[in-house]
Structure 1
């Protein structure tokens, strides 16, 4: 009778039947796949080598993909995929993509910090504008210099338009420092210069009256925008159409005034200025609620603090100009 002298297997049992052409070899133990019952259970992954009791050298436990979940964890469940950063059969991904970064913009503390930053930038813009207007009122040499060099007005107008288009249309530019601050500074200085030249045609008391009325009106509209339950953020398209109609109306008035075909220019100018002040007052509420976010349907991202400050500044400047036009037309 043959004796068993070598090999990793135990001696054959003569009571066992034939298996694989050898008498006495027991069949290998049958182990179920981990997570049996799932439709796409993977086949066992072999890495080669001689068979050993309990598996293959250097391989994962029987029925488990190399590098996968611990033995017995259902395949297709969280953590059961071969690579945990890929979506499994249920469409989930664990862990989250480390490249996804940002803030929770619904957080009230972030929104409040954003509002403080916007109003801080706006106050600096208004101070610069007030300084330019004061120079043209109290320094007659500067006023005469601008009157004899009209190219400065055209140059400032071009800078203002280019900076405004870049900030309004290029999202990457207005969100990237320091380029966004440089463009905003250029826009503010150019707009302040243009505004100072325009106001130099009026009397000082009329300008001071327009400044007071504008400040009171903007403060009241801002408080109204913060407290009201009406949502003005859905009126963006309507306000844009109103501004286009106002621009066409102003162009028609200018053409009729130049051709002497307009009868009472003073009345028409009062109507035009009143409509402009009304439209930009609503625009101020609209832009303020976009900045607030929260309960409103639409809101602006806290990353867009330059764009929000630009919108509010343009609204206030237009309200001031239309109120000054109303005062000037009423005084003739």
Structure 2
């Protein structure tokens, strides 16, 4: 049976020197490619966490408290700036140099840290740590599944994306309703949706390698794939925190 997730054309018969050499080279390239994606993603998450912690350091007297509780234009700039970076990277990836995309990715991680600093004002350090390690364990397991499974997860892609859009709409509605039970349901559904997206995006990242390996697009795809997995991780973390982070300061 053909391996659907490996679109490489048939080469020499199994067991020949050509097949072993080609397979070894491709496998080594894939490992290097995936390692680059995970390095960017994990470094971005780490940078975001450090920036968020430093910006919220001092509690009620911290810069985060002054910005987000004091109101003003800066509050909204910080809140919506990450979305601007995502759009810039998504729509500009075909025109940008890899180095430009790298700088934008790191700038995005920093701005996300500023935006997420409020969690340190709302939740206890213990609740944040528990949510983070639960997310890390779940993300690792789901990403491993997406990398190793032979099942085509692309059939779930449209459903998951539609689900995220519906989740966004429900979240906006609940901003006005302020319903606790609805908020819990939104958080639970959010965890499930981004868990599915983690596996889906990992498999898609793996497949992209066979399309871009050896081209000038490979570096850009690494960054965009890292961005997708970063967003999966952060969103899953936030929904888990909202769902179980009842222990507040």
Q: TM-score range by the shorter chain?
A: 0.7 to 0.9
Contact 1:166 1:173 (C-alpha < 8 Å) held by counterparts: no
Q: CA 1:171–1:158 in structure 2 vs 1: closer, same or farther (change >3 Å)?
A: same
The alignment's TM-score, normalised by the length of structure 2, stands at 0.77
Aligned to 2:183: 269
Q: Which protein has the bigger helix share?
A: 2
Alignment partner of 1:156 out of 78, 82, 89: 78
Aligned to 2:117: 196
How far the C-alpha of 1:115 sits from its partner, in A, is: 0.8
Q: CA 1:299–1:221 in structure 2 vs 1: closer, same or farther (change >3 Å)?
A: farther
Alignment partner of 2:163 out of 242, 263, 287: 242
User: Where do 5+ consecutive residues of structure 1 fail to align?
Assistant: 1-105, 258-264
Contact 1:210 1:320 (C-alpha < 8 Å) held by counterparts: yes
User: Where do 5+ consecutive residues of structure 2 fail to align?
Assistant: 1-24
Match status 1:284 vs 2:218 = no
Larger Rg: 1
Contact 2:191 2:239 (C-alpha < 8 Å) held by counterparts: yes
Match status 1:110 vs 2:21 = no
Aligned to 2:42: 123
Match status 1:145 vs 2:66 = yes
Q: CA 1:179–1:208 in structure 2 vs 1: closer, same or farther (change >3 Å)?
A: same
How far the C-alpha of 1:307 sits from its partner, in A, is: 0.5
How far the C-alpha of 1:123 sits from its partner, in A, is: 1.9
Deviates more, 1:210-219 or 1:149-158: 149-158
Aligned to 1:328: 245
SS at match of 1:230: coil
SS at match of 1:172: coil
Q: CA 1:325–1:299 in structure 2 vs 1: closer, same or farther (change >3 Å)?
A: farther
Alignment partner of 2:88 out of 142, 156, 166: 166
The alignment's TM-score, normalised by the length of structure 1, stands at 0.59
* Alignment size in residue pairs: 216
